[in-house]
Amino acid sequence: MKRFLNFRSGLIFILGVAVLLVIADLAMLYNSPRLRKDMDLKVVDSAIFVHSEIADFESASLPVDKRTPWMDLQVPEPAPEKYTVEQGILTPEPEFSSLPTPAPLPEPVKEPEPEPEPVVQMPEPEPVIRHEGEPAKIVIIIDDMGMDRKRSQRTVDLPGPLTLAFLPYAPKLDDITQAAIAKGHELIIHMPMEPMDSNLNPGSIALRSGMSDADIDAMLEKAFASFKGYVGLNNHMGSRLTKDKHAMQRVMAKLKDRGLLFVDSKTIGSSVASQSAAEAGLKYGDRDVFLDHQDTPEFVHAALRQTERVASKKGYAIAIGHPKDSTINALKEWLPGLKARGFELVPVSAVVHKAKQPIIPVSAPAETVTSPPAATYFGPVLPQAQPPG
């Protein structure tokens, strides 16, 4: 026990001596002149850079908000790297970079423009002859006949002469077409043709772009065999096909072989159907008014008034409607008073026309131009005067 107490006393003594030595060292450092000099230095705020011993006195005279760290430290501000935009690529300018400037991109290769087709000069069509005091003529064509048998029959029962356009794929057309002829109506084939909208189906008997001449002929033969007593053909849909020059030329050639007329329903403004008919020497006409683009009585009545205005201005008008209740009811009200208002209802064959002269491409040599044939009258025979030679 005595030995343990002696060891403890010795350890405490050693620790005490160590603490005294540390205190002595700290006292000597505090009294050192060098340390006191370092402690007297003023602290520089790195965010301000305005210490009087290192400040740029020229910049110090500027307002504080105008100074920059580079001005206060008298260090030149680094030059920014300049870039130029060339062909959409950021490129260092030569004086600031040793990198070579990439070569400009090559100009895109332009596709050669296709050679323009020969410009065809359409002459004015032969006007529909209208004698002095004669009423203006109005043609009402009803498309899509034959599929809705009930409304088709209601249309047949209207006073005529209307021009009824029957779809060639409608079933059992013989009875209703013969009944229409007996009522004094004129018949044409409502030939389905390819529309611009690929989601629309023109039907099982239809003409489409890309068909060969043989396929076009085969489809037309099916249409020609669908019923009897027609005088011509107009297009059902066809906003795509009636822009196809070759297809239209083929169609007109087949119509000419049978002595049939053509009416362009004008489902698109860029149609070349009438031009092709004129080139082929067919009797042809163009739709002026759509009667039931909107299936309401108000729209149909307004369209009938528009038809009268067109007829008054140019002597005739061709309007196209469909076997809809709004159209049938409006015609039932409108037709009886037509003559009293100064108009005459006629079939489409009474107003179709030919070109006054052959259709010649402008680029054709002058010696190929033949003398124009004598004008031919295709309207009805009127008692007031004989048609010209």
pLDDT digit string (tens) for 108-132?
Answer: 655 555 544 444 455 555 555 555 6
Residue 100 within any structural domain of the chain: no
For residue 329, give the CATH number of its domain.
Answer: 3.20.20.370
pLDDT band at 21 (very low <50, low <70, confident <90, very high): confident
The last residue of a domain, from among 17, 52, 72: 72
Residue 165 within any structural domain of the chain: yes
Q: Which domain holds residue 39?
A: 2-72
Q: How far apart are CA 135 and CA 256, in angstroms?
A: 31
* Tokens coding 270: 């860029």
pLDDT band at 261 (very low <50, low <70, confident <90, very high): very high
Least confident of 100-109, 224-233, 317-326, 333-342: 100-109
Q: What are the beta bridge partners of residue 263?
A: 234, 285
Q: Which residues, at least 6 apart from 106, have a Cβ–Cβ distance to it below 8 Å? A: none
Average pLDDT value for residue range 10-20: 77
pLDDT band at 20 (very low <50, low <70, confident <90, very high): confident
Q: What is the pLDDT of residue 363?
A: 42
Top pLDDT among 219 and 2 is at 219
Q: How far apart are CA 37 and CA 197, in angstroms?
A: 94
pTM of the model as a whole: 0.61
pLDDT band at 356 (very low <50, low <70, confident <90, very high): low
Residue 130 within any structural domain of the chain: no
Of 242, 303, 230, give the one whose Cα is nearest residue 268.
242
Sign of the C-alpha dihedral computed for residues 53, 55, 57 and 61 taken in this order = negative
Same domain, 275 and 155: yes
Sign of the C-alpha dihedral computed for residues 60, 64, 65 and 71 taken in this order = positive
pLDDT digit string (tens) for 298-324?
Answer: 999 999 999 999 999 999 999 999 999
Q: What is the pLDDT of residue 65?
A: 52
Q: What is the pLDDT of residue 101?
A: 65
Q: What is the pLDDT of residue 354?
A: 75
Same domain, 67 and 190: no
Top pLDDT among 221 and 383 is at 221
Q: How far apart are CA 236 and CA 49, in angstroms?
A: 87
Which DSSP helix (H) or strand (E) runs through 285? strand 284-286
Same domain, 180 and 307: yes
